[in-house]
Amino acid sequence: MRKSIAILLTVAALALPIVDATAATRATTRKIVVTKRFAGSIASVDRWGSLQVTIVVRKTTTITGTKKKVTRRMTAVSVPTYPNHTDRSVFINQNALPTLKAEALRAQSANINLVSGATDTSYGFAQSLQAAILKAKRA
């Protein structure tokens, strides 16, 4: 799996302008903005599951006279979120007597930006993000 991970994912690459002469004649400037969502490949994280990254790309087409410039900008990237965790973990605060806290992790449905200790998940994340960016470039 390691070898299949793309090396470079860069938003800067998305933003490279593509200049394309068109048949327009007058030097008026027109802007067309399209926002689209692209889903990455479903990356197998390990034997327990998989993840999929989604990005939102804003494509701006600026037409001035005969020149057309296209810029793409990634405006959002999905992150893995995790379901409520209420079942097995038992929390013991070492400063107090051991206490069961079954509801200790109530807030897991909220967004999480990054995960510590998640080497495997990060691999899957990189792979899926790369696929989403490649799709956006082709659009």
Partner 1 sequence: MTVIATTQLPGVRRVEQIMGLPIVVDVRDDDEPGAAVEQLFDWLRWVDATFSTYKDDSEISRINRGELRREDAHPHVRYILERCEELRQETGGYFDMNTPAGSIDPSGLAKGWAVDRAAAILDEAGFHNYAVSAGGDMRVRGRAVPEVAWRIGIQHPLDTQQVAAVIETAAELAIATSGAYARGEHIVDPHTGRPPSGILSVTIVGRELATADAYATAAFAMGPELAPHWTARLEGYEAMTILADETVFKTRGFPDE
Q: Which residues bind partner 1 (CB under 8 A)?
A: 2, 5-12, 35, 37, 45-46, 48-49, 51-54, 56, 58, 74-83, 85, 88-95, 105, 107-108, 110-123, 125-126, 129-130
Q: Least distance in Å: CB of 100 to partner 1?
A: 11
φ, ψ of residue 54 to 5 degrees: the values are: -120, 135
- Which of residues 31 and 91 has its CB atom nearest to partner 1 in the complex? 91
CB 50 within 8 A of CB 124: yes
Q: Is the dihedral of CA 104, 105, 107, 113 positive or negative?
A: positive
Q: Least distance in Å: CB of 26 to partner 1?
A: 32
- Which of residues 20 and 36 has its CB atom nearest to partner 1 in the complex? 36
For residue 108, the surrounding DSSP H or E stretch is none
Alpha-carbon distance 89 to 14, whole Å?
Answer: 43
